[in-house]
Structure 1
Amino acid sequence: MSAVTITILMIITAYLAGSISSAILVCKLRGLPDPRTEGSGNPGATNVLRIGGASSAALVLFFDMLKGAAPSYFSYVLGQDAVSLGLIAIAACLGHIYPIFFNFQGGKGVATAFGAMAPIGGDLALCLIATWIVFVFLTRYSSLAAILTAILAPVYTWWLDDRFTIPVAMLSLLIVIRHKDNIKRLRIGEESKLSRKKKASTEHN
């Protein structure tokens, strides 16, 4: 099987894996409201935190990261080059953003993108997690923390293992683009801060 064929198969696999909406499934299993119709309307860990609490959000976060990490790691094991790894990781994120199994109504893809970066190394994963936590603590804006962490991710990667700077930069660009509406609200002071079990919110992260 040629390298191109493997890349195409992994892109399809990554997209299908990304299309499994952890937020919707966890909410159904726990008897919670559909995250697409409650809170911010975004099926992601941040919105599940608002409507279902920390334990439900943690489950969503774990599985959203896993569906980004697994395709990226297996693609690396199969010997895919840096650009192919980036395309495969983006496919997983696009599956999360536009899930074929859930009427193409998905989330921002932040956890899936960071999950795809995590197999590069534990040191990078720790840097990403620590950066996000610090910015959330300082600003209380989940969206701003995600944007700033995404911007710093290629810098961390270049410092820790520059072989993967290109695919990480590709993922970071996707995250920033997906937060364009959040950036507009941040600029005019209309972005909502992170809170738990808040029934209504204008933050879409």
Structure 2
Amino acid sequence: MIFIFMLIVAYLSGSISGARISARIFKTKKPTEHGSLNPGATNMYRIGGLKAGVLTLFIDVFKAVLPLWGSYFLGISPIQLGFIAIACCLGHIFPIFHAFKGGKAVATAFGSMLPIGLDLGVSLIITWFISLYAFRYSSLASIISVALSPVYVWLLKPTYVIPVSMLAILILIRHTPNIRRLILGTEPKYDQKR
């Protein structure tokens, strides 16, 4: 019963849109109508600047940290934690508060993994920044970081490899259009405005 309750809490928490909140606070253009049309931190940075991007990132990360940390302390099993993390990310991708039109859930997936340990969080952040610096594509940096997350977890806390792998697959599937654009050479770089 607690597991079902936390699934619902995670989905509703995931449905909170950091980009839309940030757009209202900073009075920017709507992220779903400008830039990459994706309500995420990178697009908010493109259309609203650094503060808007950072606030979006903060909200989208911590809306996942809270239900996952809570579930962990309630003694929910690792596999069930994986499903709760997926529910949170599905809330971001298909938010009930915004006509089921959401983003890629990278920051939310990161927030879901953060309770596993700060060492994992630091590893993912370093991987993302190195990849961004090397390739200049935010989407590719996210894809590389997410793809490596099960490897990092296997090295740090193997108990959570399966739930993290489930989460990684979801995020990689969500990035299929980005992967296609990267192959075609039409994906915009992180600092490129459309």
Which TM-score band (shorter chain)? over 0.9
Larger relative contact order (C-alpha < 8 A, sep ≥ 6)? 1
Task: Give the structure-1-normalised TM-score.
Answer: 0.93
* Partner of residue 22, structure 1: 18
* Partner of residue 112, structure 2: 116
Aligned residue identity for 1:23 = A
Measure the CA separation in 2 of the matches of 1:167 and 1:66. 19
| Cα RMSD (Å) | 0.8
* Partner of residue 150, structure 2: 154
Pairwise CA distance, 1:25: 1.0
Pairwise CA distance, 1:112: 0.1
* Partner of residue 203, structure 1: none
* Partner of residue 50, structure 1: 46
- Structure 2 residues not aligned, in runs of 5+: none
Count of equivalent residues: 194
* Partner of residue 71, structure 1: 67
Measure the CA separation in 2 of the matches of 1:138 and 1:193. 12
Instruction: Tell which deviates more after alignment, 127-136 or 182-191.
Output: 182-191
Pairwise CA distance, 1:56: 1.0
Measure the CA separation in 1 of the matches of 2:79 and 2:69. 14
Aligned residue identity for 1:119 = P
Please point out which of 30, 34, 38 is paired with 1:34.
30
Measure the CA separation in 1 of the matches of 2:189 and 2:22. 23
Measure the CA separation in 2 of the matches of 1:39 and 1:186. 17
* Partner of residue 85, structure 2: 89
Regions of 4+ moved over 3 Å: none
Task: Give the structure-2-normalised TM-score.
Answer: 0.98
